[in-house]
Amino acid sequence: MALLCLPSQLSEPSIVISQEEFARRSEEIKVNPIIVGSGEVLTDSELYDVYVDSVKVTTTASLSTAFKTLMGAIYAFNLAFPKCHSSSMTFLQKVIINLQDRQPRDKKVLKLAGLLKCKLT
């Protein structure tokens, strides 16, 4: 799924990790909004947990629903995008969701959008 590749295209760590990685990672990853897949192969996971500030917000069977929930939680709780995922989250916001704001445009996002021939308004 293209959403799994997005952070690597923007030189950022993955937003989706395995349960094993989640358990062994340092505390800094656990405070960021993150999706945790139940399987070793993330695209084949049966369940995806969405965490915000170390709290499990929901569990879903769909990776796309997990991403929607993650973005919704960020807006519902009025959170800033985590610095380590700021370009990925900005790409999702501005290119995929088409939700614009008055923030300066991220150069990495503009470059990727150009490569994908996406139009930013």
Q: What is the pLDDT of residues 14-71, one digit of tens each?
A: 888 888 888 887 666 666 788 999 987 787 889 999 998 888 999 999 988 998 898 8
- Cα–Cα nearest to 19, from 1, 43, 45: 45
Nearest to 69 by CA among 15, 110, 25, 10: 15
> Can you tell me whether residue 79 is helix, strand or coil?
coil
Q: What's the chain's average pLDDT?
A: 82
pLDDT above 60 (res 121): no
**Cβ of 105: how many Cβ atoms within 10 Å?**
12
Within 10-83, residue ranges assigned H as helices are 19-24, 27-31, 63-76
Q: Measuring CA to CA, which residue among 21, 32, 89 is closest to residue 55? A: 32
Question: For 65-113, what is each residue's pLDDT tens digit?
Answer: 998 898 888 888 888 888 888 888 888 888 877 777 777 777 887 787 7
